[in-house]
Amino acid sequence: MGRNRYAVLVNARVILAFVLFAVSAPSGAGPGQGSGVDIAPSGLTAVFSSQVRCPEISSPFASRTRYDGSNRPRSAFGGHHGGMDITLAEGTPLLSLAAGTVVAKGTGGMMEGNYIWLRHAPEDTGLKYWIYTKYQHLDTQSGLELGTAVALGQAIGQSGKTGTVGGHYGRAGYPHLHLTVRKGQSGDQEVGDRGSMSNMQLIDPLQVYHDADRGTADVARHVSASEVLVPYISTDGMIVPTNTRVVWPLACQPVSGS
Ligand SMILES: [Zn+2]
């Protein structure tokens, strides 16, 4: 199915994205090939404001490797990463990347840990589609009840390493946020096990920031269509740009003197 999608979507941006992937892919198959799951690199890269320091991506969406350079197991998504990882000290506040609603939470097994799912309507994000976001490896279960409305940038839990201890990462585990984003055309999706969400496409979280771009002056700083200037909330509470409805899932630290 990958080839048909590419035929339909061919335009300058997709060609550029594909070329970037082809150049950067470590080895082996193309996007999604052989995985049986629709995971293709977006070709997008994150660009952060020089005014702040933000926790950055340690293993991007669709990557074949973990943050430490090791290969991902083929058992999950054919070895492609289903979300993005950000390495973090345990206990770091995790922020809702948009206004939304808590629709599920729980404790999974290995590679999942404590998780929370949020649902974001088009009115919440400015996107033309619904998104569901899943934050994994929380240190403890989120205290938010199901059905709770959350605001843009609200803390919805704290980072941890649950679900990472004892496997590839050994006894020390790997403290990080794994963020999954699924895209759908309605807000009545059942969330839970992977199978029940098979009609919802896994997308690169950077796609959300790309598609929600509000056309601010900062956009002029984009040097190419493949770069996404990441909107954020700072540790002192500033939302940049002020009219954004999506933010990075972690607060960014202002750089002193800037
Ligand atoms: Zn991950």
Q: Which helix (H) or strand (E) holds 4?
A: helix 2-9
Is-contact 115 206, C-beta < 8 A? no
Residue 3 has pLDDT above 80, yes or no: no
Record the pTM: 0.82
Average pLDDT over residues 162-167: 94
Residue 149 has pLDDT above 70, yes or no: yes
Lowest mean pLDDT among 72-86, 113-127, 145-159, 162-176: 72-86
Average pLDDT over residues 188-211: 81
Q: Which fold has domain 2-254?
A: Glucose Permease (Domain IIA) (2.70.70)
pLDDT digits 0-9 by tens, 13-56: 444 444 444 433 333 333 333 334 578 899 999 999 999 999 99
* Size of the chain in residues: 258
- In the reported structure, the alpha carbon of residue 81 is separated from the centroid of ligand 1 by a whole-number distance in angstroms of 6
- In the reported structure, the alpha carbon of residue 216 is separated from the centroid of ligand 1 by a whole-number distance in angstroms of 31
pLDDT confidence tier of residue 110, bands split at 50, 70 and 90: confident
Residue 214 has pLDDT above 90, yes or no: no
- In the reported structure, the alpha carbon of residue 213 is separated from the centroid of ligand 1 by a whole-number distance in angstroms of 25
pLDDT confidence tier of residue 222, bands split at 50, 70 and 90: low
pLDDT of residue 198: 67
- In the reported structure, the alpha carbon of residue 60 is separated from the centroid of ligand 1 by a whole-number distance in angstroms of 8
- In the reported structure, the alpha carbon of residue 64 is separated from the centroid of ligand 1 by a whole-number distance in angstroms of 11
Greater model confidence, 85 or 185:
85
pLDDT confidence tier of residue 109, bands split at 50, 70 and 90: confident
pLDDT of residue 39: 87
Amino acid identity, position 31: P
Ligand 1 is an ion; its neighbours by CB within 5 Å are 85, 178
- In the reported structure, the alpha carbon of residue 111 is separated from the centroid of ligand 1 by a whole-number distance in angstroms of 8
- In the reported structure, the alpha carbon of residue 220 is separated from the centroid of ligand 1 by a whole-number distance in angstroms of 31
Residue 81 has pLDDT above 80, yes or no: yes
Q: Which helix (H) or strand (E) holds 253?
A: strand 253-254
Give SS3 for 157: strand
- In the reported structure, the alpha carbon of residue 35 is separated from the centroid of ligand 1 by a whole-number distance in angstroms of 17
Looking up tokens 């470590």 gives 26
Q: Which stretches does DSSP call E strand in 99-148?
A: 100-107, 114-120, 130-138
